Amino acid sequence: MNGTVDIDTARIARNWWAIALRGVAAMIFGILTFVWPVISLAVLILLFGWYALVDGVFSIIAAVRRHPGDEPRWALLLEGVVSIAAGVVTLIWPGLTALVLLYVIAAWAIVTGALKVIAAIRLRKQIEREWWLAASGVLSIVFGGLLMAFPGAGALALVLWIGAWAVVLGALLVGLAFRLRSWRAKEGARMPRAA
């Protein structure tokens, strides 16, 4: 940790609640897939579509919410756009076959995971334990890769994989959010002493 505060880190820490809400949304989505494992593919498609839209909206809010002079975070903004696009494609064509849905979810998980890893690398000098974000990114990449490597998995296995991924991803995002909140409080306490 260095002594200077990166403007991007401060902005992300200020919007820790958006990351927490994304994590809670992911955990709710994951839990619902476990509660109803025999859920129809049509409902799974709709759940995923709405989850991706909500996740994308919160990503964009966190990226563009800024004070004068701040620059938007391109990786988080791009992650939001990709999430919204995946959600819209899923909701516009709900009759997608299970295989096409699997590849849409896999591609979305890989792209957003890579963007999370990039964001974690940028945050590593500003906050401790940025691995929460990196771990969520790596988890998403591995999940997407597994879905692409084993597309023949049955619908029930797909539902359980998606549910497990969403719950763990959500927990990691909530952990990151509270770490950012703690960092923000510590930096806020440091500011008055410097003045």
| Domains in the chain: boundaries | 7-187
The residue ranking higher by pLDDT, 90 or 128, is: 90
pLDDT score of 119 more than 60: yes
Which pLDDT does position 195 carry in this prediction?
46
Around Cβ 153, how many Cβ atoms within 10 Å? 16
Name the DSSP letter for residue 5: P
What is the structure's pLDDT at 45?
76
Nearest Cα residue to 4 out of 123, 124, 126, 120 = 126
Q: What is the pLDDT at residue 1?
A: 45
pTM for this structure?
A: 0.54
Q: Are 173 and 23 in contact (CB under 8 A)?
A: yes
CATH 1.10.20 fits 7-187, yes or no: no
Instruction: Give the distance, in angstroms, between the CA of residue 4 and the centroid of all CA atoms in the same chain.
Output: 27
Sign of the torsion formed by the C-alpha atoms of 121, 63, 171 and 20: positive
Q: What is the pLDDT of residue 30?
A: 87
Of 3-7, 37-41, 81-85, 93-97, least confident by mean pLDDT is: 3-7
